[in-house]
């Protein structure tokens, strides 16, 4: 595997030229294992985290196969369908397809909610080579008879575990039922719970299984730390952390949409440029916030778990868990936003007494001990004002517990360069 290059796959010339322009020569582990079988027409079951290069692992075979097809897509149809759980991930997948297609005349169409349908309908009316979509908007257009899926020959379910977490089980099954029976399929997931296994069995035919990292392991090269404190002390501590010169670019995770807004507003009041990104924001507002973060106009992006999936921004030096996630697996996805492409990163968790049980659950799946010995949690207090969400109030030094820190380096995740 180590001596393999992209040239070894025998890809079409436009794809090889695009890879060379992008500076990609050696495939990552998942690309090395998954591209060949797909070029041979096999289905793929891929177990891989974001950041391992999995988009190229399915994009390159699909593009290569489409380049070998005759004619143009039938109006109102697509040759390939990529389903993604979030709008951000869908946008990034389209960017990758366009980059790898290079100068080849292949059409892509992005179908997602939060923006008008008009442009999507016009693009689909001409027929497209690659359709990248979120399930809800795609079914809207199917029901409006603006697109047919019976000519789809290549299909990918990306981040299938997240898709099911977000309640897309039935929409995905309905979409799959409309596809061409002799399609080539791939399913990628960071974890493999029973629901995903069941979906894979019904969706894939004799798949090649590709696994590049143990499930739910923390990403290596991340210095993890935890600080115990009362909830009201979090605002002041967060401002101290992100104001540090060591922080180049940070993602802060809040539990709720309202909480994310409140954390971002408090950071702005404390003199730190920040933007919030979550499902209640319009797509153009989310893209503006993400663009400002990528360009360094804002130093801090405050996100919910769902909105952060698919964000792959270079140079994120720090991740801060302002609130503990409800699902312990999301801790792994959160901290994986940093230490990408061989860089190192820092993940800091601010843990209130009523979040200790959640942190114990995180420790159980990661195998990392971050809580000091003997710490006991408290039962969560009833929320008197539910509008406050996970964003907490302002600093109250007299009632704040003294922060306690416990540092660990992350476990063994993949070092592969992502393409």
- What is the per-residue pLDDT for 192? 82
10: Cα separation from own chain's centroid: 30
Does residue 285 sit in the same domain as residue 367?
yes
* Spatial separation of the C-alpha atoms in residues 28 and 34, rounded to whole Å: 10
Does residue 73 sit in the same domain as residue 20?
yes
Does residue 126 sit in the same domain as residue 187?
yes
Does residue 192 sit in the same domain as residue 244?
no
Q: Would 217 be classed as within a structural domain? A: no
Does residue 130 sit in the same domain as residue 246?
no
Does residue 337 sit in the same domain as residue 279?
yes
**CATH code, domain with 18:** 3.40.50.300
Strand (E) positions, 116-258? 128-133, 154-157, 184-189, 208-211, 222-228, 250-253
The last residue of a domain, from among 172, 189, 211: 211
Number of domains in the chain: 2
Does residue 271 sit in the same domain as residue 394?
yes
Does residue 372 sit in the same domain as residue 314?
yes
Does residue 154 sit in the same domain as residue 249?
no
Q: Would 216 be classed as within a structural domain? A: no
Are 187 and 176 within 8 A, CB to CB? Answer: no
Q: Would 419 be classed as within a structural domain? A: no
* Spatial separation of the C-alpha atoms in residues 118 and 388, rounded to whole Å: 37
The pLDDT profile of the chain, 419 residues, written as one tens digit per residue, is 446 889 899 999 999 999 988 888 889 899 999 999 999 999 999 998 766 788 999 999 999 999 999 899 999 999 999 999 988 889 889 999 999 998 788 999 999 988 889 999 999 999 999 999 999 999 999 999 999 999 999 999 999 988 888 889 899 999 999 998 899 999 999 888 888 888 999 999 999 999 885 444 446 688 999 999 999 999 999 999 999 999 999 999 999 999 999 999 999 999 999 999 987 888 788 889 988 998 999 999 999 987 776 677 888 999 999 999 988 878 888 898 887 766 789 999 999 999 999 999 999 878 888 988 877 766 555 444 333 333 443 333 333 333 444 555 544 333 333 33
* Spatial separation of the C-alpha atoms in residues 315 and 72, rounded to whole Å: 40
Alpha-helical runs (H) found in 213-303: 234-243, 257-269, 283-294
Does residue 133 sit in the same domain as residue 266?
no
Q: Would 361 be classed as within a structural domain? A: yes
Q: Which of 91, 129, 93 is nearest to 289 (CA)?
A: 91
Does residue 194 sit in the same domain as residue 330?
no
The last residue of a domain, from among 162, 186, 211: 211
Q: Would 275 be classed as within a structural domain? A: yes
Output the pTM of the full model.
0.64
Q: Would 417 be classed as within a structural domain? A: no
Beta-bridge mates of residue 128: 78
Residue 35 belongs to what domain range?
Answer: 6-211
Q: Would 415 be classed as within a structural domain? A: no
Q: Would 271 be classed as within a structural domain? A: yes
- What is the per-residue pLDDT for 378? 64
The last residue of a domain, from among 186, 211, 236: 211
Does residue 169 sit in the same domain as residue 232?
no
């Amino acid at each position: 595997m180590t001596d393999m290059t992209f040239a070894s796959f025998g890809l079409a010339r436009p794809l090889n030229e695009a890879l060379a322009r992008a500076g990609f020569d050696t495939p990552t582990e998942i690309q090395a294992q998954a591209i060949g079988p797909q070029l041979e027409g096999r289905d793929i079951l891929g177990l891989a985290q974001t950041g391992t290069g999995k988009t190229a692992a399915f994009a390159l075979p699909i593009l290569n196969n489409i380049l070998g097809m005759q004619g143009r897509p039938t109006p109102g149809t697509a040759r390939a369908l990529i389903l993604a759980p979030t709008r951000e991930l869908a946008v990034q997948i389209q960017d990758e397809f366009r980059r790898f297609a290079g100068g080849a005349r292949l059409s892509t169409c992005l179908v997602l909610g939060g923006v008008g349908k008009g442009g999507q309908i016009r693009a689909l009316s001409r027929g497209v080579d690659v359709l990248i979509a979120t399930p809800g908007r795609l079914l809207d257009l199917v029901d409006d008879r603006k697109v047919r899926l019976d000519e789809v020959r290549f299909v990918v379910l990306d981040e299938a575990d997240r898709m099911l977490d977000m309640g897309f089980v039935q929409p995905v099954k309905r979409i799959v039922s409309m596809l061409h029976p002799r399609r080539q399929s791939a399913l990628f997931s960071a974890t493999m719970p029973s629901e995903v296994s069941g979906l894979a069995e019904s969706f894939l035919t004799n798949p090649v299984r590709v696994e590049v990292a143990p499930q739910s392991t923390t990403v290596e090269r991340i210095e993890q730390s935890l600080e115990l404190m009362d909830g009201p002390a979090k605002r002041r501590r967060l401002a101290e952390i992100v104001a540090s010169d060591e922080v180049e670019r940070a993602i802060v995770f809040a539990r709720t949409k309202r909480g994310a807004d409140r954390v971002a507003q408090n950071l702005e009041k404390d003199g730190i440029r920040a933007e919030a990104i979550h499902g209640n924001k319009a797509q153009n507002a989310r893209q503006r916030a993400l663009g400002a973060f990528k360009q360094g106009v804002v130093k801090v992006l405050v996100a919910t778990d769902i909105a952060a999936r698919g964000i792959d921004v270079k140079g994120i030096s720090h991740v801060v868990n302002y609130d503990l996630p409800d699902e312990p697996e999301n801790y792994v996805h959160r901290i994986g936003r940093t230490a990408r492409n061989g860089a190192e990163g820092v993940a800091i968790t601010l843990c209130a007494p009523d979040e200790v049980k959640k942190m114990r659950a995180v420790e159980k799946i990661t195998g990392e001990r971050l809580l000091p010995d003997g710490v006991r949690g408290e039962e969560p207090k009833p929320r008197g004002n539910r509008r406050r969400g996970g964003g907490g109030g302002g600093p109250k030094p007299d009632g704040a517990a003294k922060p306690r820190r416990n540092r660990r380096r992350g476990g063994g995740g993949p070092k592969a360069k992502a393409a």
